[in-house]
Chain A
Amino acid sequence: MENILEIKNLKVQYNTDEAVVYAVNGLSLELAKGEILGLVGETGAGKTTTALSIMNLLPDAVAEVTGGEIIYNGKNVFGMSKSELRDLRGSEVSMIFQDPMTSLNPVMTVNDQIEEVLKIHNPQMTKAERDKRVADILSLVGIAPERGKSFPHQFSGGMKQRVVIAMALVAEPSLLLADEPTTALDVTIQAQILTLMKELEEKLGTSMIFITHDLGIVAEFCQSVAVIYGGEIIERGTVEQVFACTDNHPYTSSLFQCIPDLETDEARLKPIPGFVLDPRTVPKGCPFADRCEHCTERCRTEKPAVQYVEEGHFIKCHLFEGRRHDV
């Protein structure tokens, strides 16, 4: 299948006054047209940084792309001109930002903020058509269209999140980057939003990268999973392959042990031993080595290569060297 997005060996660092933070360290990821990929990993793993890089929207005061490229529909986003980037953002690729509290402009009405996307990308639309689209998308995300005249501060957190979602969906993008879009929503609204996004995928073939901590949502909503650790993809496969729990990266296995299992008595979370990786250094070997129960001397000194265990399922771990069993 044709790829809509190819991230090749992406390296991003933040140069702050105190330290250099290595957020993304040689991340490679491919996304097929129409694919819905769940991107999971703990806090600070580099998920948001990766998503922002795809739109070439990293904060230019601190962030620096030190290597790699991101090919969207055959074109490197880091090489795009300003006007190419403007065409890309909002209509081709759009992002649901992680923090809805600060992502809306406090001095503009909700209607105006959603309508702006249409004004930019659909200049042929009349005012009446735009108003209709805005009202439609608001009711789709469960907000009464009359409320659109309000300002963000008059909305609750969950409502703001839905506005951010509406804004990202209104121009019907080809690639949607959803950065923990449903964390502030209650379960019914969450289901409603997920259904809406699913419909978008079915109707328009929208590809999605769905960033979340919730493995339940991944299992239900996504077709494939990528696990990110220390700014690298350490495992990638279809939902069936990864959730089968036969071959997994030790980090993924421990993630799965973190989900309370309702069928057995063992309903307690099993914490992953050790500390979250210090992002101010890039480990020479495997980033998970310090917390891994199978860690060997080799893991500390040599970066594991991508090992395919099955067609479409790879694990970056020395343990799986030469373990492909479907060939």
Chain B
Amino acid sequence: MLKYALKRILLLIPTVLGITLFIYFIMSLVPGDPAAMLAPQEATAEEIEALRVSMGLDKPMLIQYLRYIWNVLQGDLGVSWFTKKSVAAELVNRLPYTLTLGVMSTLIASIISIPLGTLTAVKHNTLADYVVTFLCLFFSAMPNFWLAILLQINFSLNTGWLPAFGMGTPAHYVMPVIAVCASSIASNTRSTRTWVLDVIRSDYVRTARAKGANEVTVVMKHALRNALLPIITGLGSSFAGVLGGSVVIETVFAIPGVSTYLTTAVGVRDMPIITGCIMVISIFVGIVNLLIDLLYSVIDPRVKYE
């Protein structure tokens, strides 16, 4: 198992290389010249050309990429083209916010959606099931920025219970976490319902009933554990989604996180920031996937890694 984990961590290296190469390739297709954007308004064509050479943009894409990787291998993520600030230092500042948001919302989503989904599976086609299903559809259809704004109006503006934006105290996290996990609770409750329902109808659950086991044992001991694999896969991808995809929430709540950093950089084609962010995000996603795979082998004896 340890050997397997090490192998998977080593495999992250080619994965990250591939992803960054892909980013370089995509960005080279985007029209527009970063040097021209960066240069002052009154700069002449020669001055822009000189700037381009100094940024290394006159070289082919592959050379630029190799040069970047070479620097990364020496521990240098470079500086932003525009602000000239160190990308690594900025990431170290921003990552904790985004990670906290991701971990908290995934944890809360699991704590709520697994029991709720199981309950609706057991009580399928009853009033409780219909009500939860309706709420799930409602919250997965609701744009998260709208929920965020509603929260701000009700719990900050009108009542003053929670800080409206910024970061610092645990109270600052309450509304962003709710806004992020609402839709993931909704979708994971739905998928838990589907998977548990599937397992509840299986032959071995019938066997458990035939033994005279009570319904709680049947569901908790026999059904849920078998349904857990696809459920945690879903939760894992929700977590990955928060890391790179919570830009709207970060913007609404003025959270200085990674998503905002990345999205702003894409707008101006600030390559060191873009690649730096993508690299960090893919490493975290890779680690989460590895943890999920290791969890698989704990849950299901048929999954064995060597």
Q: Are A103 and B226 in contact (CB under 8 A)?
A: no
Q: Are A97 and B209 in contact (CB under 8 A)?
A: no
Nearest CB in chain A: distance from B232 CB, A: 14
Q: Are A57 and B210 in contact (CB under 8 A)?
A: yes
How many angstroms between the C-alpha atoms of A61 and B125 in the bound complex? 10
Category for how many chain B residues contact A: 20 to 34
Q: Are A106 and B302 in contact (CB under 8 A)?
A: yes
Q: Which of A88-103 contact B (CB under 8 A)?
A: 88-91, 94-95, 97, 99, 102-103
Contacts of A120 in B (CB 8 A): 211-213
Query: How many A-B contacts are there with CB distance less than 8 Å?
Result: 74
Which of the residues B201, B213, B214 comes within 8 Å of A59, measured between beta carbons? B201
Q: Are B302 and A103 in contact (CB under 8 A)?
A: no
Contacts of B209 in A (CB 8 A): 57, 89
With A106-B226, A107-B226 in contact, is A117–B211 under 8 Å at CB? yes
Nearest CB in chain B: distance from A18 CB, A: 17
Which of the residues A82, A107, A116 comes within 8 Å of B211, measured between beta carbons? A116
Chain B 274-306, CB-CB to A under 8 Å as 1, else 0, gives 000000000000000000000000011110000
Q: Are B222 and A105 in contact (CB under 8 A)?
A: yes
Q: Are A89 and B301 in contact (CB under 8 A)?
A: no
How many angstroms between the C-alpha atoms of A120 and B214 in the bound complex? 9
* Residue tally, chain A, CB below 8 Å to B: 32
Q: Are B201 and A105 in contact (CB under 8 A)?
A: no
Contacts of A97 in B (CB 8 A): 203, 206-207, 210
How many angstroms between the C-alpha atoms of A104 and B225 in the bound complex? 14
How many angstroms between the C-alpha atoms of A40 and B253 in the bound complex? 71
How many angstroms between the C-alpha atoms of A90 and B215 in the bound complex? 14
Q: Are A151 and B210 in contact (CB under 8 A)?
A: no
Which of the residues A82, A91, A102, A153 comes within 8 Å of B302, measured between beta carbons? A153
Which of the residues A55, A86, A87, A106 comes within 8 Å of B300, measured between beta carbons? A106
Q: Are A107 and B212 in contact (CB under 8 A)?
A: no
Q: Are B211 and A103 in contact (CB under 8 A)?
A: no
Looking across the interface, which residue of chain B has its beta carbon closest to that of A104? B204
Write the residues of chain B forming the contact surface with A, with a CB cutoff of 8 angstroms: 201-204, 206-215, 222, 225-226, 299-302
- 15 residue pairs of the A-B complex, CB under 8 angstroms, read A57-B210, A82-B215, A88-B212, A90-B210, A97-B203, A97-B206, A103-B204, A103-B207, A105-B222, A107-B302, A113-B207, A117-B211, A121-B212, A151-B301, A153-B302
Q: Give me 13 other A-B pairs in contact (C-beta within 8 A), A89-B209, A106-B301, A153-B302 excluded.
A: A85-B212, A88-B212, A89-B210, A89-B212, A90-B211, A97-B210, A103-B204, A104-B207, A105-B207, A107-B301, A116-B213, A120-B211, A164-B207
